Amino acid sequence: MKLYDYAAAPNPRRVRIFLAEKNIQIETVQIDLAKLEQKSEAFLKLSPLGEVPLLQLDDGTCISQVHAICRYIEEVYPENPLLGRTPLEKALVESSNHQLNMNGIVAVADGFRNANPAFADRALPGPNAYAQIPALAERGLARVDHLFRDLDAHFANSEFVIGDYFSVADITAFTTIGFARWIKKTIPEDCVNLQRWYDQVNARPSAKA
């Protein structure tokens, strides 16, 4: 297995933390998104949509999308499960992870890509050109404010996203906090529960991945 990665970007980081939590070490290849290397002819042969992260299996098969890469890894390396241990827990992890992806990663991306001049006509990832929408950037900022408050309320009564079970949903939330700095959003000082959870996750060795 080989992971096409970009050290600075949030979505590849989600995969790297996932791998680190499962103690899996694999070869990585840097695709410099700042230099648009994901649009190079060579990379588009592997990933027609130019997607990073990308997991390439030993037979050459490629898997795109964070959720799908994590699913494959969990299936092949079931130890230290991060996608749930029972049918109910698997469903609750998937529900929270999906919501955190939408309200966290996607919201920050809206805020970032619709305001940064480097993303003119690249407001959405992928091959199609979409113009920036300033109001969508603003909405992204507002959604992140809501998310911080919602997470703070949640962590008042819960160690992790799903009770005392550390899961991929914590990785998504944790990566969102780092990504939010790109739009100058940091945990509000009075969100002490969210800060407690963040410090706890940040102290795990995987946080350095």
Q: Convert residues 132-171 into a mask of x (bound to its own copies by CB under 8 A) and - (unbound).
A: -x-xx--x--xx--x-------------------------
Q: Residue 118 CA to chain centroid, in angstroms?
A: 21
The count of other CB atoms within 10 Å of the CB of residue 141 is: 18
Name the one range near its own copies by CB under 8 A: 21-29, 38-46, 82-90, 158-166: 82-90
Q: Which two tokens stand for residue 120?
A: 């003119």
179 DSSP 8-state letter: H
Binding of residue 61 to its own copies (CB under 8 A): yes
Q: Which two tokens stand for residue 29?
A: 């290849």
Strand 2-5, strand 27-30: pairing: parallel
Least Å from the CB of residue 132 to its own copies: 9
Q: Which two tokens stand for residue 21?
A: 């939590």
Q: Which of 169, 174, 115, 178 is nearest to 141 (CA)?
A: 115
Binding of residue 120 to its own copies (CB under 8 A): no
Element (H, E) at 152: helix 134-155
Least Å from the CB of residue 133 to its own copies: 5
Binding of residue 71 to its own copies (CB under 8 A): yes
Binding of residue 57 to its own copies (CB under 8 A): yes
Residues engaged in binding its own copies (CB under 8 A):
57, 61, 63-65, 67-69, 71-72, 75-76, 87-88, 90-92, 94-95, 98-99, 123-124, 128, 130-131, 133, 135-136, 139, 142-143, 146
